[in-house]
Structure 1
């Protein structure tokens, strides 16, 4: 008798599952700890997807108003990120929240890390406190090649009082 009930329940579940159609989605399905979609760039290390602000993890870019000579490096970092994303779907693995309530995410577009891109192009720097040195090689290469802000005459206090050790 019990086996018959289990068989009927299983049959019912199969019928319900078969009746459901998979709907097409604009973005690929992702796990709960991920967020995917079209991103808008807030600044060089912050994006927004579906109204959620995401602080890109492990690196830093110049703050609003930062200048190296006549070059607004805050704006250059944001433009570099925007051009790289270029309407691609951005996928972020969300790891928590920062003190401002933004999600913290390791994000990629077209399979390439946004952090790695910005640091390797010289518009950001590795922040070992958060990255554990993940982008140190990219920063070193950008500095040596004088890419991005590393090729400009920047003030000593460009990064404020932050430490990058």
Structure 2
């Protein structure tokens, strides 16, 4: 029997893309990944710092920018009704969609406020909003920030940051997380640039469809 995480990757995209809209209340997993109406959605055209990513303020002080953008997005959108137009799906099984919350394009709003960047690799829809945010030094533009796509592709792990729960993919394709203190935690590795990832809490891992290791 396939576990939820693997089953979601295999089956959810085709169901979501077949629908005209994905509708429901917003559950913010991180700044650019939401669950809307039970469907895991990756917001189109934007990219935001990862939950465990740290940045640096202009005064040289460390800043947990990944946590900040997630909290800002939760404050603005969590629990509100959204209508998302599916455009594609990604290799993680998320539906890529343009989402509107209370009549406004959420991605456009986030880039304009400086809590996300225009993801030029896939879309130029929000380049003008990013230029405006940069000119105002809004949000992320007022600090030294490694672009999230560069951060994910680097060989540097988040093990020294606040997110210490390891999300690992088993040989059978199961999504399993390991918490500190468990038997295989120290031996478990999180591959950079792939589907494996770090989580900041067990609640976050479970919401993403991962199960806890049995020991």
User: Taking structure 2 as the reference length, what is the TM-score of the superposition?
Assistant: 0.56
TM-score normalised per structure 1: 0.72
Report the CA distance between 1:76 and its aligned residue: 1.5
State which drifts further: 96-105 or 65-74: 65-74
Check whether the contact 2:25–2:78 (CA below 8 A) recurs between aligned residues: no
Alignment correspondent of 2:53:
66
**Larger Cα Rg: Structure 1 or Structure 2?**
1
Q: Which ranges in structure 1 are unaligned for 5 or more consecutive residues?
A: 1-30
Residues in 1 aligned to 2:66 and 2:147: alpha-carbon distance in whole angstroms:
14
Q: Which has the higher helix share?
A: 1
1:139 deviates by: 0.4
Task: Report Cα offsets for 1:65-124 as digits up to 9, x if no partner.
Answer: 211132211112211211221532111001121010111110010111111111111111
**Structure 1 match to 2:168:** none
Please give the per-residue CA displacement for 1:14-52, whole angstroms capped at 9, x wherever unaligned: xxxxxxxxxxxxxxxxx9221111111011101002321
**Alpha-carbon RMSD:** 2.1
What whole-Å deviation, never above 9, does each CA across 1:125-147 have from its counterpart, x for those lacking one? 1112322x110111011111111
Show the 5 A alignment for 1:46-61.
46-61=33-48
Higher mean C-alpha deviation, range 103-112 or range 71-80:
71-80
SS at match of 1:150: helix
